[in-house]
Amino acid sequence: MDVGNTVSADVAGATEEGVSLEPVGATGTVARSEAAGTPERTGAPVAAAEPEAGDVPETAVEEGRGRPANPVALLLSWSGEKRSWYVASVLLAVIGVAGSIVPYFAVGQMIAGVLAQTRDFAFYLGWCGIAAAGYLIYIICHNASTTLSHKATFATISKVRRRLADKLTRVPMGYVLDTPSGKLKNIMVEKVDSIETTLAHVVPEMTSNLLVPIAVIVFMFTLDWRMALIALVTLPIGFICYMGMMRDYASWYEKTVQAGEEMSAASVEYVGGIEVIKAFGQSASSYEKFSNAVTRYARSFIDWMHHCQIFQDGGLAIWPATLVTVLPAGCFFVMEGTLDPATFVMVAVLSLGIFPPLYAAMSFIDSLAQIGTVVEQITGILDVPEQRRATSPAATDGTRIELENVRFSYGREEVVHGIDLTIEPNSVTAFVGPSGSGKSTLARLIAGFWDASSGAVRIGGVSVNDMPPSQLMDLVSFVEQDNYLFDDTVMENIRMGKPGASDSEVIEVAKQSGCYEFIESLEHGFETVVGGSGGHLSGGERQRIAIARAMLKSAPIVILDEATAYTDPENEAVIEAAVGKLVAGKTLIVIAHRLSTITDADSIVVVADGRIEAQGTHGELLATCPLYAHMYEAHIDAKDAA
């Protein structure tokens, strides 16, 4: 048992935001809590994605829900048609094992020949040839077996990744947005990768490493049952040591994983807050929370290893010491005349072959524990309830938006309490209200990022659940304060709004959205790669590219999470002009933070504590809604003071 392997595999996954301290693994707790955070499904059937050719049906995943009882079996069920490769790989491994026993047998025969004073050189040469042939069979079969299982494993992990990526398109978009991208990436890339070596080796090698000693033991029994039994004396003693090592395994494991999680969390915090830490002149060692977490993690490891040490040393010393019993007993039987020297030598040689493969097989237990945690995380994502969506487009009647008694909860807490609302086509509607009142949640429900827990959200008379995602996406553009830009060229980032749009179309919307000048001033113009999340651009520039993208998409409904970030007046004016062009002739829903910008809206919806407090024009609300009047006053005062 290699404590180090097991624990490092599991604690590393606690790392959030992609700051990975260890190469693989994660605790299932994280995955479970993520899944728990998603809203309840409302029970209607889910539009299943087209299965990939050769994929196993979804039921295979169903079987694996929760903590998989047998993660390897679950992974193999995901391997689809490649399962036959694994079967072939095991068969080759078994043939290889048979070949690997041959040299032992040949050596035994040759020693017997020496003892019998056989002077025929061809006899020894023949057995040498047989030993070499056995070894050759072993090498060829072993290589073919691992090659096949590696190929099957690469195909399997590619299927797992595609299954995960596919799943993300079917879960509520809010789930993806709310889950730290580092965490999802960590599971899809590093953790899935970490399965590869183990899965590729465990299937053929664990099988063969368990079969070798069994075959050797059976063969020894055919030679002399007494000697076979004597050769096995160290086995149970070794097992007792192993059991001692496994005593309290769960609590040691849990303790160490927890310490690892704490260290990972402290590391993430340390990296995230590095600016503040530097500003206050602290270093890694002086940042107490981090250094304590690191020390606790190391301590938990060392304590566990101390606990295991004596048992591990005992097991390692006793288990392979088969000759301690075989030699004296064999000598005794030979002197007694009940055992011929050749059999004695053969059993002695064979007994040396029992332990190494068994030990190798045991070492896979660590790797299996690691696979278990990774598979649990994968199923944690695959378990996330999917959105109910139709598969074929529905016929809509215009673009009127209707919310009927809409309720919504994040997890257990209801944050939208039975909202009724109608938004007319080509109107401008503003959602206003205190922070946390539910404005963004309402907007996201309309955009279909989340599904309402109950009630209905309809566009053009059709529930968003009865439209395929592509139809809903064609109807709604969601422009947020910080829209994601891909690590691609400006041209491609804008084109994402309408795949297939020509370069000139892209350039035209860039002009309309006020991006053209700054894009042209970039080093490679429209071919400039904007960097991960658009990091090479300013907030205002990213916002304008996002507006250009939405303009190109030209959806009839635009939801705008009004930016408060771009405060410099020049940028603000450009963006406001761009937004004006974006929404011309469209339905605009704006989540308004600066009330002075929405006084001309056709309808202002005041949201408070997940309910609609009031609705009307600016003038009406000033007169009838104290909350609105108060918010407006406060905004104007703050503006004047600025």
Ligand X SMILES: Nc1ncnc2c1ncn2[C@@H]1O[C@H](COP(=O)(O)OP(=O)(O)OP(=O)(O)O)[C@@H](O)[C@H]1O
Q: Does 438 bind ligand X (CB under 6 A)?
A: yes
CB of residue 462 to ligand X, shortest distance in Å: 24
Nearer of residues 109 and 441 to ligand X, judged by Cβ: 441
Please identify, using beta-carbon distances, which residue of 31 and 101 lies nearer to ligand X: 31
Q: Is residue 435 a contact point for ligand X (CB under 6 A)?
A: yes
Contact window for ligand X (CB under 6 A) among 10-18, 378-386, 435-443, 552-560 = 435-443
Residue range at the interface with ligand X (CB under 6 A); choices 67-75, 297-305, 429-437, 534-542: 429-437
Number of Cα atoms under 13 Å in the Cβ half of residue 127: 17
Beta bridge partners of 456: 404
Q: Is 390 helix (H, G, I), strand (E, B) or coil?
A: coil
Instruction: Pick one of 201, 439, 495, 542: the residue that binds ligand X (CB under 6 A).
Output: 439
Best CA proximity match to 297, nearest among 1, 22, 17: 22
Q: Does 39 bind ligand X (CB under 6 A)?
A: no
Q: What is the dihedral of CA 299, 300, 305, 308, to 10 degrees?
A: 140
3-class DSSP state of 403: strand
Q: How far is the CB of 385 from ligand X (least distance, A)?
A: 15
Closest approach of Cβ 31 to ligand X, in Å?
Answer: 17
Cα 512 from chain centre: 40
Quickly count: other Cβ atoms within 10 Å of residue 361's Cβ.
19
User: Which two three-digit tokens encode residue 275?
Assistant: 């600016």
Give CA–CA dist 598/315, Å, rounded. Answer: 76
Reported in sequence order, the residue ranges of 136-268 that DSSP labels E, i.e. its strands, are none
Site for ligand X in 157-196 (CB under 6 A): 178
> Binding of ligand X at residue 436 (CB under 6 A)?
yes
Q: In terms of CB distance, is 355 or 449 closer to ligand X?
A: 449
In terms of CB distance, is 28 or 433 closer to ligand X?
433
Interface residue with ligand X among 176, 415, 501, 622 (CB under 6 A) is: 415
Indicate the residue among 6 and 441 with the shorter CB distance to ligand X.
Answer: 441
| Greatest pairwise CA separation for the chain in angstroms | 118
Torsion angles phi and psi, residue 558, rounded to 5:
-120, 125
Write down the least CB distance from residue 179 to ligand X, Å. Answer: 10
Select from 254-262, 273-281, 428-436, 569-577 the region that touches ligand X (CB under 6 A). 428-436
> Is the CB of 426 or the CB of 440 nearer to ligand X?
440
- Concatenated DSSP letters of 80-141: GGGHHHHHHHHHHHHHHHHHHHHHHHHHHHHHHHHHTT---HHHHHHHHHHHHHHHHHHHHH
- C-alpha distances (whole Å) from 47 to each of 51, 167, 217, 232, 585 are 12, 12, 55, 58, 33
399 binds ligand X (CB under 6 A): no
Q: Which is nearer to ligand X, 433 or 460 (CB)?
A: 433
Q: Exactly one of 149, 373, 437, 465 binds ligand X (CB under 6 A); which one?
A: 437
Secondary structure of 435-458 in HEC code, one letter for each residue: CCCCHHHHHHHHCCCCCCCEEEEE
Tell me the closest approach of the beta carbon of residue 66 to ligand X, in angstroms: 23
* Choice from 135, 221, 242, 410 touching ligand X (CB under 6 A): 410
Total residues interacting with ligand X, rule: CB under 6 A: 11
Which residue among 28, 320, 330, 433 contacts ligand X (CB under 6 A)?
A: 433
Segment interacting with ligand X, rule: CB under 6 A, options 114-122, 152-160, 360-368, 431-439: 431-439
Q: Which residues bind ligand X (CB under 6 A)?
A: 178, 410, 415, 433, 435-441
